[in-house]
Structure 1
Amino acid sequence: MEKVTRRELMAFAAVVAATLLMLPPFGGAAPAAAAATGAGSNCTRRCGNISIPYPFGVEPGCYHAAGFNLTCDRSHHHQLPKLLLGDGTVQVLEIFIPNNTARISSSRVEFTYADHGHRANGTWGAGLPRGGPYFLSELTSYVMAVGCALQIDVRGGAHDDLLGSCTAVCPPSPQYSGDIVEGTGACTGIGCCQANIIIGYSFYKIQIHTFNESMQGDYSVYMASDVPILNGNIFDGVETLPAMLEWVISNSTCPYMPAPECRSAHSFCQDLGASGHGGYGCHCDDGYHGNPYVPGGCQDIDECKYPDIYRCYGDCKNTPGNFACLCPSGYYGNASIPNGCRDINECQHQEAYSCYGLCQNFPGGFHCHCHDGTYGNPFTKGGCVTVKKSFTGLSIGLGVSGGTSLLLLALGGPYIMRKLKLRKLKKTKQKFFKQNHGLLLQQLISHNTDIGERMIITLRDVEKATNNFDSARVIGGGGHGVVFKGILDLHVVAIKKSKIVVQREINEFINEVAVLSQLNHRNVVKLLGCCLETEVPLLVYEFISNGTLCHHLHVEGQVSLSWDHRIRIVTEVAKALSYLHSSASMPIFHRDIKSSNILLDDALTAKVSDFGASRYIPTDQTGVTTAIQGTMGYLDPMYYYTGRLTDKSDVFSFGVLLIEAYSKEAVCLSVCR
């Protein structure tokens, strides 16, 4: 990582703060659906923007048992109500039914001092009920100390077993300019340290030993989950960080199947005895999702609606708890893998397909005709009969009286053939236009006549612009196709051609056209039009000449972007996201913000591109539950685990992009794809 001055670091921090302020405020995303319980309609099922599914509840009779009772604190005027555990002070940020977890706000650990300030003792978990039903998640949680010349020990359990320990040393000199944080966001041990918590409890004892003279107040200690660090000063003044709790039903293991609280059909019980603490959780069977704690809460998943999760490259058919993926009619093979379906050559087994004439195979089917000199029904044995040849006299008569007609036919034949060929080509174009949802696209943009007229581009114009799709014109590939460089109406354009023609990609194509046709922002790539007259849909964009941000940051041979350029580029991306989320006619969530989707023009102005995965969100909603799409490394974990897409999903991806631009470190090995 290149060294930066303190002024540059402060400037970068200012940009981070400004862009986050510019984006909509961060809040808890609601789970997929609020479950109704048998406790009646008077149960509070939402506090602010947080859903309260059973077995949790606020009023008596609305929750499973003690420990699952919550308080909705509405005493803070001009603020959203706060959801609290029990009657206490621990704030709940989100509740996740599928994996039996809850995200809370974890306060900074407070200490009392001993040994003249060389040792300090503290505790964590004072607001949690002792013995359950909550335990700190041991999968994602850790203790973290910000400071130096200290050792931190975490103990728990009946015998105060050592569960985690780390040591932070001071920089070797005041002029030290090395990193205190690794590229992954973890502490290096210089100025801060962290250690995983190996066993989940509801209460911990924490002890700090200092190696220098008394350092009271010169450090901060947190118990947290999945919180990356940007620099050693990021926690100055921070009082709370998110932590993940696991929760269990009762204090026993699964007594029998089904367990009492697994009330829904298609649910099962699983022991979740964290660290020896008895308890179980309920889950929906494979192929179902929802709330297993309420009757009818587990609903069948229509896998065919989520092709990015349940891969099917043929005809998808939903079944209860499962789905069938079959090759289309006329094909055979494995439809669950790309190109797994192969054409059946029916003509190799004509009788099996009842063809007793001339068979001609084509992809997905075949034609069956009577042989030359015969006519009739070729799909039955003996159905084709020979044409009778007793027309000699008639032929002579025609030869004498129709010579002129034959001459006219001979002269006009080429013209007739040309007209027939043009008519066939026109029908083919109309077929592809309909197949590619051209009528749907016209409806989507029909409210703006000017847009509708300029958006539809003919195949003839596209072929002329690309020199009939000359491979020498290929300039790259996006997430959904190959990109050609061309000239259209005396302007240089980029023409995107899809790689695979399947129904879901045609839907993504129409989605991208509908989204981009409504946008007008200097930092969003401009869509000039589309062509629907080919089997493969085509998009025509403004040509952005200077590659992607990813190539400038990571690909060898590119000119390195200066610090000022990187600051400006990420600021422009933030402005584009703010426009998409707040200023567009209907909020748009991009779903795939990454450095390879940020194009740069000659002036290094950022242009957000590739809207194939984008979603419109109704103005009266804060999010939508949908199939998971995006790029690992940039993907919002909450969206990945819950399927709930909100504006914060784009904000998380932007945060990763921000760190990537700051550090110039690649997010993953397969960069710039």
Structure 2
Amino acid sequence: MKRKKKFFKRNGGLLLQRELSSSNGNVEKTKVFTSKELEKATDNYNKDRTLGKGGQGTVYKGMLSDGRIVAVKKSEMIDEGRVEQFINELVILSQINHRSVVKLIGCCLETEVPLLVYEFIPNGTLLQLIHDANEDFPLTWEVRLRIATEIAEAVSYLHNKASTPIYHRDIKSSNILLDDKYKAKVSDFGASRSVTLDHTHLTTIVQGTFGYLDPEYFYTHRLTDKSDVYSFGVVVVELLTGLRAVTSTEAQEGRSLSSYFTHTMEENRLVEILDARIEKDASIEQMMAVAHLATRCLDREGKNRPPMKEVAFELEAIRMGQKEVTSSVVRPKQNFEEIEFSTIDLTTSWEISSSSTQICSSIEKASSFDVQPLLLNTK
């Protein structure tokens, strides 16, 4: 009992109690599991039960006593920063109720490292679906457009309809899970921030994932809802092109996917980089409409990017084939020399900035299926 009390305090129990007292009581709906319950559910955290491993922890597949299949997230670190992220994720997720956001079931604080328990999402990540062959479920244009719309609606909900606006800060294809019907579920809220209505931005430590990180936020540390818009734009480009956020193709030109894409749009060569798997079943008008929308999301200046509410509306309109709406999205072909596509090469930026940047969490070599997150504190 003494050990459990010690772990409860160290794992943020007091911080959670403080958050509970200042919240609307939503967190109380979350089940508090005992350590024995989760040990049994995960077969003592058997390695064979591992679903994934990232910068913030390891996720295990488990089965509760009532037969429900769950995902148990076990944090890797005990330091104060990690504990705050854990409690932050718990409080934020407890207030979210949306079909395209992963559902939090409960937590456990009496173990050596804190634990979160989520609904189990069976079909992996969007990143895996895009980049790994899946003969059982072809990634058609219709599916891609639906998934993009579902993600946009979820992020729009976070920005506009949650109890307080929430900025996710780490929208990327590996944080989009796919359920049994391959519907999108936004996950991993450890880096997210709630924002009071009287604030238009936050000044924070730069946190996000290389390749998806808003360049304006990278340089100014001013976090706004438009930072999520930028990251979402990168995901849309992944869906359009089948390319990774950072790949050898772009590296040869010294550019991230976002700058490579905007440069291609500038030269009116979109067709050359579209994913060959969707050329036969996709409408060129729809692809062009989505590409132009992605370009707007990737604008260097956040003020020029559309809000997620507008993005979700336009994607749904494109998907439904509403000509009166899509005609405003699909702009007439212009001489792209007349349009200034001012892009930032984050590959170069990272190399230049690293000498004067304190890295607060180690950046390991990216695996074959993910791009590592950044946690930067520029002084």
Q: TM-score, normalised by structure 1?
A: 0.36
1:507 offset after TM fit, Å?
1.1
1:450 offset after TM fit, Å?
6.6
Instruction: Check the 8 A contact 2:75/2:114 in 1, yes or no.
Output: yes
Q: What amino acid is the match of 1:634?
A: Y
1:556 offset after TM fit, Å?
4.3
Aligned length: 248
For residues 637 and 467 of structure 1, the distance between their equivalents in structure 2, rounded to whole angstroms, comes to 43
Of 443-452 and 459-468, more deviation after overlay is shown by 443-452
Match of 1:442 in 2: 17
Instruction: Check the 8 A contact 2:86/2:190 in 1, yes or no.
Output: yes
Q: Which ranges in structure 1 are unaligned for 5 or more consecutive residues? A: 1-425
| 1:528 maps to 2:105 | yes
Cα deviation, 1:194-235, whole Å, max 9, x if unaligned, reads xxxxxxxxxxxxxxxxxxxxxxxxxxxxxxxxxxxxxxxxxx
The 5 A counterparts of 1:651-662 are 651-662=229-240
Higher relative contact order (CA 8 A, sep 6+): 2
For residues 450 and 572 of structure 1, the distance between their equivalents in structure 2, rounded to whole angstroms, comes to 24
The 5 A counterparts of 1:520-669 are 520-556=97-133, 559-669=137-247
For residues 532 and 496 of structure 1, the distance between their equivalents in structure 2, rounded to whole angstroms, comes to 12
Q: What amino acid is the match of 1:542?
A: E
- Which of 28, 32, 49 is 1:456 aligned to? 32
Cα deviation, 1:509-557, whole Å, max 9, x if unaligned, reads 1111111111000001111111101121111000000000000001245
Instruction: Check the 8 A contact 1:591/1:650 in 2, yes or no.
Output: yes
1:454 offset after TM fit, Å?
3.4
For residues 217 and 239 of structure 2, the distance between their equivalents in structure 1, rounded to whole angstroms, comes to 23
- Which of 466, 479, 484 is 2:60 aligned to? 484
1:459 offset after TM fit, Å?
0.8
Q: TM-score, normalised by structure 2?
A: 0.63
Query: Cα 1:487–1:625, aligned 2, differ >3 Å: closer, same or farther?
Result: same
1:650 offset after TM fit, Å?
0.3
Q: What amino acid is the match of 1:664?
A: G
Instruction: Check the 8 A contact 1:595/1:672 in 2, yes or no.
Output: no
Q: Which ranges in structure 2 are unaligned for 5 or more consecutive residues? A: 248-365, 371-379
1:506 offset after TM fit, Å?
1.1
For residues 11 and 96 of structure 2, the distance between their equivalents in structure 1, rounded to whole angstroms, comes to 22
3-state SS of the aligned residue for 1:445? helix
For residues 648 and 588 of structure 1, the distance between their equivalents in structure 2, rounded to whole angstroms, comes to 12
Cα deviation, 1:417-454, whole Å, max 9, x if unaligned, reads xxxxxxxxx11000000111112213323455574153
3-state SS of the aligned residue for 1:667? coil
| Structure ID, larger Rg | 1
Instruction: Check the 8 A contact 1:482/1:497 in 2, yes or no.
Output: yes
3-state SS of the aligned residue for 2:149? helix
Query: Cα 1:587–1:454, aligned 2, differ >3 Å: closer, same or farther?
Result: closer
For residues 452 and 443 of structure 1, the distance between their equivalents in structure 2, rounded to whole angstroms, comes to 12
Q: What amino acid is the match of 2:369?
A: C
1:460 offset after TM fit, Å?
1.4
Query: Cα 1:635–1:453, aligned 2, differ >3 Å: closer, same or farther?
Result: closer
Query: Cα 1:658–1:526, aligned 2, differ >3 Å: closer, same or farther?
Result: same
Q: What amino acid is the match of 1:628?
A: V
1:478 offset after TM fit, Å?
3.5
The 5 A counterparts of 1:123-162 are none
For residues 15 and 169 of structure 2, the distance between their equivalents in structure 1, rounded to whole angstroms, comes to 23
For residues 456 and 565 of structure 1, the distance between their equivalents in structure 2, rounded to whole angstroms, comes to 37
For residues 44 and 209 of structure 2, the distance between their equivalents in structure 1, rounded to whole angstroms, comes to 33
For residues 211 and 225 of structure 2, the distance between their equivalents in structure 1, rounded to whole angstroms, comes to 17
Instruction: Check the 8 A contact 1:486/1:493 in 2, yes or no.
Output: yes
For residues 4 and 198 of structure 2, the distance between their equivalents in structure 1, rounded to whole angstroms, comes to 40
Q: What amino acid is the match of 2:199?
A: Q
The 5 A counterparts of 1:256-267 are none
| 1:505 maps to 2:82 | yes
Q: Which has the higher strand share?
A: 1
Instruction: Check the 8 A contact 1:476/1:483 in 2, yes or no.
Output: yes
Query: Cα 1:658–1:450, aligned 2, differ >3 Å: closer, same or farther?
Result: closer
Q: What amino acid is the match of 1:431?
A: K
- Which of 409, 427, 434 is 2:2 aligned to? 427
Match of 2:280 in 1: none
